[in-house]
C-alpha cells in the first residue's frame, strides 16, 4: 500500500509526514485500500487558520474522499481521517446489509 503526500506551496516536514503515515496506517490496515493520496495546502486567503488536508483512498469500487481545514495541518489530518473512518464504516455496514439480504 502506497501513501503519496503532496504539499502545495510549502515543504512538509519529516515529522508531519511521519504523523500522516501513522494515522493512515491504522486506517489502511482494515480495508482493501491500495493507495492513499494526501494533499496539504494553505487556503486561498493565506489565513493561518485555514490549513487544508485532502485524502483520497484508492480501493476497489468507489474511492472515499474527504477534505477538512484546521489551524494546524496535524489537526486537519486527524479530522480528515475521522471522516474517512466514518465513510468506510458506513460502506461496510451497507455491504454487510446487502449480503445478509441475499442469504
pLDDT value of position 26? 83
Separation CA 92–CA 4 (nearest Å)? 24
pLDDT in tens, 23-60: 998 887 666 889 999 999 998 776 767 899 999 999 88
**Which architecture, in CATH terms, is 2-102?**
2-Layer Sandwich (3.30)
What's the half-sphere exposure (Cβ side, CA atoms, 13 Å) at 49? 0
pLDDT in tens, 65-80: 999 999 999 999 999 9
pLDDT value of position 60? 87
What are the sequence ranges of the domains in the chain?
A: 2-102
pLDDT value of position 102? 58
Please list the residues that pair with 51 across neighbouring strands.
42, 70
pLDDT over 80 (residue 15)? yes
8 Å CB contact between 54 and 65 = yes
pLDDT value of position 49? 74
Q: Which three cell numbers stand for residue 41?
A: 495546502
Please list the residues that pair with 69 across neighbouring strands.
52
pLDDT value of position 9? 87
99-to-22, 96, 102 alpha-carbon distances in Å: 32, 5, 5
Amino acid at each position: 500500500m502506497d501513501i503519496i503526500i503532496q504539499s502545495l506551496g510549502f515543504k512538509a516536514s519529516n515529522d508531519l509526514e511521519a504523523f500522516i503515515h501513522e494515522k493512515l496506517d491504522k486506517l489502511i490496515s482494515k480495508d482493501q485500500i491500495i493507495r492513499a493520496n494526501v494533499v496539504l495546502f494553505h487556503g486561498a486567503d493565506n489565513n493561518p487558520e485555514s490549513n487544508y488536508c485532502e485524502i483520497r483512498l484508492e480501493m476497489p469500487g468507489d474511492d472515499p474522499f474527504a477534505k477538512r481545514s484546521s489551524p494546524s495541518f496535524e489537526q486537519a489530518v486527524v479530522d480528515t481521517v475521522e471522516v474517512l473512518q466514518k465513510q468506510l464504516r458506513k460502506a461496510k455496514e451497507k455491504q454487510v446489509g446487502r449480503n445478509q439480504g441475499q442469504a
